[in-house]
Structure 1
Amino acid sequence: MIKQIKAHLNKSIQSILGQKVEFVKQDEQAFTRKRSLSLETMIRTILGMGGKSISKELLVAKLTVSNSSFVQRRYQIKP
């Protein structure tokens, strides 16, 4: 059952990545360059957050980026 849920979640994330223009606030250039905070990384990190501070969540996710860069990237995604 859990494997099916994970597979469905992965499929949904891949679908979003295929249509990222619809999910990004700014222009088509956002999330096009290879960066440590790709759209996929942002989605997976946001979904995995447990309510701790951003700095603790980034440590748990093993992301070596600043809180500011994470917040700036998050604002590029439509709510």
Structure 2
Amino acid sequence: MAGPHIKESRFWRYSLYAMPIILPLAFWASWDMITGPKSRVLQIALGIGFAIFIYIDGAILFWWNAWWQNHWKTKK
């Protein structure tokens, strides 16, 4: 069964569009983890790494959603 592929640009574009909504919520939820280290450089690195992780994770979730929708359409 051929389905959507993670390399399709639409999943990455959707994830980028969702970032202004998801990222502030994710930072708010993990604020203690990001501000925990005393080093400002480490705090910035954690924030940037967290933003990159959220972007990649968003693309994977959009791909997974498309895959399941395709799976159920072809199963019927």
Instruction: Give the TM-score, by structure 1 length.
Output: 0.32
Bigger relative contact order (CA 8 A; separation at least 6): 2
Q: Which has the larger radius of gyration?
A: 2
Instruction: Give the TM-score, by structure 2 length.
Output: 0.33
